[in-house]
Each structure stands twice: as structure tokens, then as C-alpha cells.
A and B are shown apart, each in its own frame.
Chain A
Amino acid sequence: AQTVTQSQPEMSVQEAETVTLSCTYDTSESDYYLFWYKQPPSRQMILVIRQEAYKQQNATENRFSVNFQKAAKSFSLKISDSQLGDAAMYFCAYSPNNNDMRFGAGTRLTVKP
């Protein structure tokens, strides 16, 4: 079975600090895509960052970066200099076929002022 596991239902971070959200996935594929999506209370999912499995270099988007460990099937998201607007549900997603995506159960991130 191909599944995505987010082991942290909730995380909390102080404003301006750094937080890391964990994600592991199960796959027998060698080429695939990984994503982190943010879902604020308004409920619209927003793409945060993507990673192509054949690229060893970790993706970075401004304050957001990933630690992609292919052998360990791990794909964690690091948020630096956390801001109040980062508070949301964060979903890790995996796509084995360049088409449909499978999502984890999510991590609720709280940012404390």
C-alpha cells in the first residue's frame, strides 16, 4: 500500500522561531513527486513547496525548505522565522504517477506571538 504518514497531529512554534514538520511515505516507485500544502482556516489548500524524487537537492521556497531523504522515505518541512500567518493545517502529499495525489492526515501548526 502506498500511504503518507504525518506523525505529529499538532505542533506549536514561537513567532520568529523555526519548526519542522515530519512526513514519511511508503512507495515502491523510484520516480515520484512530493508536496507540502497549507490549509488555512478559510480551507483553501495552497501549495507550499514541491520536490521531484530524482533530484537530490532539497527544495527551498523563501522561509520554507524540505529535508528529502529518499532512502528513508522521509520528507520533512522546515519553516524558518515563523510568522502568525503560517498558522494552518499542513498536509504532506505524494504523487506516484504525475497525476493523482495521496495526502497525509495533516499537522495543525499553531504560532504563538
Chain B
Amino acid sequence: DTGVSQNPRHKITKRGQNVTFRCDPISEHNRLYWYRQTLGQGPEFLTYFQNEAQLEKSRLLSDRFSAERPKGSFSTLEIQRTEQGDSAMYLCASRTSGTGFYGYTFGSGTRLTVV
């Protein structure tokens, strides 16, 4: 297992188009997180899954955003009708649940540019 994988690495799209990102977590990790990071800021929590269940969504996740994790493996994050304000790095992270919290393993992110 080579870690958390995110595709694509970069995405340029026109305003109003839909985009979808994919995250493949570490295989034994049952929790998967999506964060958004804008330039000069720290990551902001969007949503997380435990197995296939989406357990929490941030208020940052507007109705145009949807995330899925079918079968509790990979996850997709879709943004509909993209806006220029959606331009950011979208980070995926994973971990195992259970006793103790040893942080996440992050992917390299997908950089979205909306033009």
C-alpha cells in the first residue's frame, strides 16, 4: 500500500461545470476525510466517512457539493456548477478508528482552478 492516493492532481474547469475528484485511502483505514485548503490557509474540514457512512458534514459543504464512499473503499467528491470561489486544494485523509488518535495520513491533494 503506497498511502493515500488522489486523482487528478490538477483540474482546471470553466465556471459552471461539474467536477469529480477521487480518493483511494490506505486499505485498512475505515475513516476517510475531505478537507479544503485555500492559498495561505490551513485545511478546513468538509466531511468524513466511517466505512460507507457519511457521519458529519461541515457547513462549508454547500448543496453543490456531494461526497460518496461506496462499499467503504474509495471516495469521490463532486462539485456541481463550480464557482471561482471553489478554487482550492482538496485534500483527502484517512485513518483507523479505535482507541487513541494518531492523526491522519494525507494524500497529495487535487488542486482545482475554476476559470
- Interface residues of chain A, those whose CB is within 8 Å of chain B, are 4, 33, 35, 37, 42-47, 50, 91, 93, 95, 98-106
Q: Indicate whether B21 reaches chain A with its CB closer than 8 angstroms.
A: no
A106 CB to closest chain B CB, in angstroms?
Answer: 5
A45: which B residues are within 8 A, CB to CB? 43, 91, 93, 104, 106
Give the distance to chain A from B11, nearest Cβ to Cβ, in Å.
14
Q: Which residue of A lies closest to B95 (CB)?
A: A99
Residues of chain A contacted by B108 (CB below 8 angstroms)? 42-44
A100: chain B residues at CB < 8 Å are: 33, 45, 48, 56
- The answer to whether A106 and B42 touch across the interface, beta carbons within 8 angstroms, is yes
Number of residues on chain B facing chain A (CB within 8 A): 22
User: Which one of B42, B48, B105 lies within 8 Å of A103 (CB-CB)?
Assistant: B42
- In the complex, which residues of chain A have a beta carbon less than 8 angstroms from the beta carbon of B48? 99-100
Please measure, in the bound complex, the distance between the C-alpha atom of A42 and the C-alpha atom of B42, giving whole angstroms: 15
- Chain B interface (Cβ within 8 Å of chain A)? 31, 33, 40-45, 48, 56, 89, 91, 93, 101-109
Q: Is the beta-carbon distance between B42 and A91 smaller than 8 angstroms?
A: yes
Chain A contacts of B56 at CB under 8 A? 99-100
Taken together as a complex, chains A and B put the C-alpha atoms of A18 and B33 apart, in Å, by 34
Do A103 and B43 form a contact, CB below 8 Å, given A42-B108, A43-B108, A44-B107? yes
- Expressed in whole angstroms, the Cα–Cα distance for A57 and B40 within the complex equals 32
Distance A13 CA – B19 CA, assembled complex (angstroms): 41
Chain B, Cβ-Cβ closest to A91: B42
Q: Which residues of A lie under 8 Å from residue B105 when comparing CB positions? A: 47
Q: How close is B21's CB to chain A, nearest CB, in angstroms? A: 14
- Which residues of B sit under 8 angstroms from A95, Cβ to Cβ? 101
A105 and B89 in contact, given A43-B109, A44-B108, A45-B106 (Cβ under 8 angstroms): no
A96 to chain B, nearest CB (A): 11
- Return chain A residues, CB-CB under 8 Å to B89: 43
B42-A104 in contact (CB<8A): yes
Interfacial chain A residues near B33, Cβ < 8 Å:
100
- Complex contacts, B104 vs chain A, CB 8 Å: 45, 47, 101
Most chain-A Cβ atoms within 10 A of its Cβ — which of B40, B91, B101, B107? Answer: B101
